[in-house]
A and B are shown apart, each in its own frame.
Chain A
């Protein structure tokens, strides 16, 4: 396959940046999107040019590092991570636009790499449980009803990639934050901090400069892990419950 790529190039955070056009040849349908970019970078290095910077780590869809907006879709045309997107989803001769995540809270560091440490600070505000460390506890000591375990697992799937923020017209982090809140709030292990968790995490989310939710639903459409829009509804309920209970303030 031969492709034309239009890629966002930006030297550093202060640079303005612009789209640059490149041709890549020798692409096979079984290559991943990132392998296609590797091919482009090998060519650029041989030509003495600066290779395109992009984030990646596991390349198996579990770490959440990869983060590209491809033809206007976060993670591209398939509902998966960019690393698990294969070139068979494109056709020979296609022109493909590749851009970084766009949000005020995710500033571009270089080319397609953005700073997502805002997510870390949201998790630090309450995305944990106060469990004693040491050896693993006896599994049957704390029974968890099956529906609750399923609910927790569904939300624990969030890999913190940030596609939800990238797709949101308001740059909101509601889907990510709700996945983290609901994951722990439904479990007995998360119960002691049920109220403070949701209040603190929403406060941290606001402090990072993310937008608010207008229920546009773009986030749940692109989420590679299928976190549902109803997750946001559940977090709103938890937040209102904690506020009415006067858990803090």
Chain B
């Protein structure tokens, strides 16, 4: 698998789809912030208790975290190795250059780097609190979210990353279907439609939270 460009791309597609699945759940969960601190904080607590009494407290959450870290590492490693190979395979540029591929397609690499940096910042901000603005309170996610989006840079970083995410999914979802052999001429329009819809819903859903804080709907 890993030795072949086709296999490595398949690893990338599967890890990308795992992250995508998580992001859909994450986005829906975030929207609970619009129903007040009690409901949002209860949701934050529930994530830690899912699966009880079969699972111990936070076990399910840790399993999800391990799977996600594995997906991010596999995805980024494959992206790095394949990109280096792609650049080496086309050393000379054309004097008369043409650019036809869509913006989303051309920004997969830099957009991916932005997303990777964002993931690190996001965890240090709202999970561990290391870069959090104004006293991070473990177990009080509602207050933490409001604090984060009360700074201008918190909003800028978040919104730029979510626009990058939308573009990445727009090309990535459709591309993953092709990589896994699930695409085809008859399904092409449907797949592109679903990719656009997912990109739009995720970006809009995630961006709604900082916009909510900025407009004081969430405070």
**Residues of A that sit less than 8 Å from B by CB:** 6, 8, 19, 69, 71-73, 97, 99, 102-105, 168-172, 202-203, 205-206, 209-218, 221, 228-230, 232-241, 243
Q: For residue B175, which residue of chain A has the nearest CB?
A: A215
How many Å lie between the Cα of A243 and that of B101 in the bound state?
A: 31
Cβ B5 vs Cβ A171 within 8 A: no
Instruction: State whether A215 and B100 are in contact (beta carbons under 8 Å apart), knowing that A97-B95, A234-B181 are contacts in the complex.
Output: no
Contacts of A240 in B (CB 8 A): 6, 10, 180-181
Instruction: State whether A212 and B88 are in contact (beta carbons under 8 Å apart), knowing that A71-B96, A228-B185 are contacts in the complex.
Output: no
Instruction: State whether A215 and B105 are in contact (beta carbons under 8 Å apart), knowing that A171-B90, A202-B4 are contacts in the complex.
Output: yes
Contacts of B174 in A (CB 8 A): 215
**What is the total of A-B residue contacts with beta carbons within 8 Å?**
129
- Any A CB within 8 A of the CB of B189: no
Contacts of B185 in A (CB 8 A): 228, 230
Q: Which residues of B in the span 69-106 have a Cβ within 8 Å of any Cβ on A? A: 82, 85-98, 100-101, 105-106
Nearest Cβ distance between residue B100 and chain A, in whole angstroms? 6
Contacts of A172 in B (CB 8 A): 5, 86, 89
- Which listed residue (B1, B92, B100, B183) contacts A218, Cβ 8 A? B100
Instruction: State whether A72 and B98 are in contact (beta carbons under 8 Å apart), knowing that A214-B105, A236-B180 are contacts in the complex.
Output: yes
- Which listed residue (A97, A104, A202, A213) contacts B96, Cβ 8 A? A97
Instruction: State whether A72 and B8 are in contact (beta carbons under 8 Å apart), knowing that A211-B86, A211-B89, A216-B105 are contacts in the complex.
Output: no
Looking at chain B, what size class is its interface with the partner chain? 35 or more
Nearest Cβ distance between residue B185 and chain A, in whole angstroms? 5
- Any A CB within 8 A of the CB of B9: yes
Select the residue from B1, B90, B188 with max chain A CB neighbours within 10 A. Answer: B90
Contacts of B85 in A (CB 8 A): 170, 211-212
Contacts of B101 in A (CB 8 A): 169, 216-218
Cβ A232 vs Cβ B94 within 8 A: no
How many Å lie between the Cα of A168 and that of B183 in the bound state?
A: 20
- Any A CB within 8 A of the CB of B49: no
- Any A CB within 8 A of the CB of B171: yes
Nearest Cβ distance between residue A8 and chain B, in whole angstroms? 8
Contacts of B181 in A (CB 8 A): 233-234, 236-241
Contacts of B95 in A (CB 8 A): 6, 8, 19, 97, 99
Q: For residue A166, which residue of chain B has the nearest CB?
A: B94
